[in-house]
Amino acid sequence: MIKREIEKRQIPDFFVNDGKKITNKEEWEEHRKRVLDLFLGEEYGYLPPKIEPSIRLEEQAINFAGKAKWESVFFTFKKGTKRRTVRAELILPRGKKSPVFLAIDFLKESPNKYLPVEEILDSGFGIFKLCYESVTRDNGDFENGLCALFEGGKEKYGKIAIWSYMASICMDYLMTREDVDSKNVAIIGHSRLGKTALLTSAIDNRFVLTCVNDSGCCGASVSRGKVDGNEKIYDIVKTFPYWFKREYALYAGKENTLPFDQHMLLSLVAPRNVIIGGAKEDVWADNEGQFLSCHLASYAWELYGKSGLIHDGKMPEVGEVLTAGELGFYLREGTHFLSRDDWKIYISKFREILDNEIRE
């Protein structure tokens, strides 16, 4: 099925440099810089240079029956006369050095329908939650929030890159915390924030696990060969032009001219762990395209002597969870959402990573 699908979608082999197939880790590590450059240069835009924030903490009274410690973290960035503050929430199991989920979240409040705080804590994980609109609003205003501090505005980058910029700064902060096991931080995002989590991890290699939920078009699913009902570049740049670098819109309807496809973004995460989550009824996100992307990206893991997606060549059935390799994919029942069922899969993989670490 897979070979036919790749041919049908006309996806070229992008593990090639100057006409020569990449065959080892060293060649890939050289080549991956060019691949990343293409993604930033053509699609998401380059991230602005990091500004060192000043940090203020505020302890919250809510502690989940005494199980947790909750601190709001205020990052203040200054440039010239302008200053902007971004707020994030650090919720850690009390009295333990904990592995953490860095959750790029839609909603301000915690817990919320996408973020089951207590269940996550009870599974032994802390949470660093960043509400994406605290960074900059999800619209075309490039004077809003952090964007106001960066030169070039929408000419230079899209908002996904800015959310991603802040996620990396959150990781910088986690590395300073004694109560955080900063070697074990997973990043998670759903939908547009799944795209953000994936981009972040492609750029920043400090995440031990990347959970990319229902990210679809311009996230984990390949852009070539979409069918009716799948979101295409044309659709996404029409509704959300400001998520991307402006020129990316030129690829609408011309997917075959892209010098990459989305599976190469996935491959930039190798050899670390990543899971691509899909929901059966989320046709918009193109689950076949996400599965294919995992299959194609697996080559990067193989170059490190690791297994990418372990599968039998067929699109998985609903309910099948293919997370035995470092690159995982699953398809659950239901619609576009970051549900408890998704969290269970991510948590269980994270637990497995930690258990393996102890054994090694």
Which residues contact ligand GCU by CB under 6 A? 191-192, 216-217, 231, 236, 284
Which tokens in the block code for residue 278? 């899909």
Residue 40 or 236: the one with the smaller Cβ distance to ligand GCU is 236
Determine contact, residues 327/334, Cβ cutoff 8 Å.
Answer: no
CB of 331 to ligand GCU, least distance (A): 17
Q: What are phi and psi of 33, to 5 degrees?
A: -65, -40
Q: Which of 166, 175, 353 is CA-nearest to residue 275?
A: 353
CA distance linking residue 230 with residue 149, whole number of Å:
36
Minimum distance from residue 186 beta carbon to ligand GCU (Å): 20
- The amino acid at residue 39 is F
CB of 231 to ligand GCU, least distance (A): 5
Between 110 and 262, name the residue whose CB sits nearer to ligand GCU.
Answer: 262
For ligand GCU, give the closer residue by CB, 182 or 196: 196
Nearest to 212 by CA among 273, 271, 299: 273
Which helix (H) or strand (E) segment holds residue 130: the answer is strand 126-131
Q: How far is CA 73 from CA 57, 58, 147, 332, in A?
A: 5, 7, 19, 34
Question: Least Å distance between CB 153 and ligand GCU?
Answer: 22
d(CA 279, CA 80): 46
Which residue, 184 or 290, is less far from ligand GCU as judged by CB?
Answer: 290
Sign of CA dihedral 305, 272, 269, 204: negative
Question: Sign of the CA dihedral 350, 273, 8, 40?
Answer: positive
Structure-block tokens of residue 269: 């995460």
Least distance to ligand GCU, CB of residue 203, Å = 19
What H or E segment, with its residue span, contains residue 79?
Answer: strand 68-79
Instruction: Tell the smallest beta-carbon distance from residue 237 to ligand GCU (Å).
Output: 10
Closest CA to 159 of 210, 128, 199, 188: 199
Q: 138: helix, coil or strand?
A: coil
Shortest distance (Å) from residue 7 CB to ligand GCU = 26
Distance in Å, CB of 106 to ligand GCU, minimum: 8
Beta carbons of 96 and 109 less than 8 angstroms apart: no
